């Protein structure tokens, strides 16, 4: 039986305890779709054909997957694809030998509203069920996705200090969050993009970050917990001549973990009333960073969004 759009039940939940569970954040018609007078094609499970499955950063475990919507033969061309920044989609796969479909959430880092295409960055987990399936996918195979799932909405008419904290591959869904602010000339919000990774080899989308850095209202800092440096010090930053050689022009980096003290050093404005913090990463990372952000900026939970 086909479920009406927007309906969800327990079988739609992947059971992984996502912060923004589909049961609490039903896919709902987007403002953009309503304004365009069109249907958002992904509101209930829809077919998407894979256009490419490429390695990222020279790492075979990291895949950039690109999908395009497949319309049914009798469907009018009246749809758009709206996955707002900060929202994720649910992939449902029917795997051989498994009675129930396998559900896993993924966060697009690029979407084309009109062409109905999106891209995700996937870190394949050794022994992971969906990872094993995705690793062998060939272009033109068709998968089922549903969404958008999430609750973050950016209001460009009210300028804010936005702190975006990203861990590892979870930098991917933070890119559209940054772009939606920078792409709008009259958006006066300021962004601090704080990227937590093992070392420089694990900074993904570095080129994109350098493009963002050309905007007056964007600054980033790389927190490299395990980066080695020939200076021999326990930690150093972009002022170290040895580390500087490995950085691009104007890149800032610290060879340590992000904590409340480091966060406080990134303060955009002394008036924190209009500040929000967005955290992308594993649930353990999100909880730890939320604690640090509360200490550093004296914010309440309602100003902190976990993706």
How far apart are CB 64 and ligand FAD at their closest, in Å? 10
How far apart are CB 26 and ligand FAD at their closest, in Å? 15
- Interaction residues for ligand FAD, span 91-120 (CB under 6 A): 104-107, 120
Residue 186 to residue 183: CA distance in whole angstroms: 9
- Interaction residues for ligand FAD, span 29-88 (CB under 6 A): 88
For residue 151, state whether it binds ligand FAD (rule: CB under 6 A): no
How far apart are CB 307 and ligand FAD at their closest, in Å? 6
Half-sphere exposure of 179 (CA within 13 A, CB side): 15
Reported as type and span, the H/E element at residue 50 is strand 46-56
User: How many other CB atoms are there within 10 angstroms of residue 60's CB atom?
Assistant: 9
Binding span for ligand FAD by CB under 6 A among 79-87, 124-132, 223-231, 239-247:
124-132
Which of 22, 42, 65, 130: binder of ligand FAD (CB under 6 A)?
Answer: 130
For residue 285, state whether it binds ligand FAD (rule: CB under 6 A): no
For residue 197, state whether it binds ligand FAD (rule: CB under 6 A): no
Q: Considering Cα of 140, then 121, then 22, then 183, what sign does the dihedral take?
A: negative
Question: What are the angstrom distances between the C-alpha of 17 and each of 22, 129, 207, 283?
Answer: 10, 17, 33, 9
How far apart are CB 280 and ligand FAD at their closest, in Å? 8
Q: End-to-end alpha-carbon separation of the chain, Å? A: 32
β-pair partners for 112: 117
Residue 24 to residue 12: CA distance in whole angstroms: 11
Which of 129, 184, 242, 287: binder of ligand FAD (CB under 6 A)?
Answer: 129
CB-based closest residue to ligand FAD = 128
How far apart are CB 272 and ligand FAD at their closest, in Å? 27
Q: Considering Cα of 270, then 276, then 278, then 283, what sign does the dihedral take?
A: positive
For residue 274, state whether it binds ligand FAD (rule: CB under 6 A): no
β-pair partners for 66: 52, 119
How far apart are CB 216 and ligand FAD at their closest, in Å? 29
* Binding residues vs ligand FAD (CB under 6 A): 16, 18, 88, 104-107, 120-123, 125-131, 169, 172
């Amino acid at each position: 039986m086909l479920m009406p759009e927007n309906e969800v039940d327990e079988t739609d939940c992947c059971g992984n305890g996502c912060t923004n569970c589909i049961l609490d954040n039903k896919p709902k018609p987007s403002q953009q779709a309503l304004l365009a007078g069109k249907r958002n094609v992904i509101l209930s499970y829809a077919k998407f054909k894979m256009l490419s499955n490429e390695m990222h950063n020279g790492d075979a475990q990291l895949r950039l997957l690109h999908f395009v919507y497949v319309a049914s033969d009798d469907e009018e061309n009246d749809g758009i694809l709206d996955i707002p920044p900060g929202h994720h989609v649910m992939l449902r796969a029917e795997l051989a030998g498994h009675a129930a479909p396998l559900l896993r959430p993924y966060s697009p880092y690029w979407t084309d509203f009109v062409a109905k295409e999106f891209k995700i960055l996937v870190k394949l987990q050794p022994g992971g069920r969906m990872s094993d399936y995705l690793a062998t996918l060939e272009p033109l195979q068709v998968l089922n996705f549903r969404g958008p799932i999430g609750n973050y909405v950016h209001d460009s008419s009210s300028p804010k200090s936005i702190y975006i904290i990203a861990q590892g591959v979870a930098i991917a869904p933070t890119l559209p969050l940054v772009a939606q602010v920078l792409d709008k000339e009259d958006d006066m919000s300021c962004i601090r993009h704080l990227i937590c990774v093992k070392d420089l080899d694990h900074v993904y989308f570095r080129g994109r970050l350098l493009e963002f850095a050309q905007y007056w209202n964007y600054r980033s800092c790389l927190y490299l917990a395990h980066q080695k440096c020939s200076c021999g010090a326990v930690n150093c930053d972009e002022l170290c001549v040895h580390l500087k050689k490995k950085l691009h022009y104007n890149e800032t980096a610290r060879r340590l973990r992000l904590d409340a003290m480091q966060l406080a050093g990134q303060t955009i404005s002394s008036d924190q009333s209009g500040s929000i913090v967005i955290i992308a990463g594993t649930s353990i990372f999100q909880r730890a960073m939320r604690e640090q952000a509360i200490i550093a900026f004296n914010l309440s939970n309602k100003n902190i969004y976990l993706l």
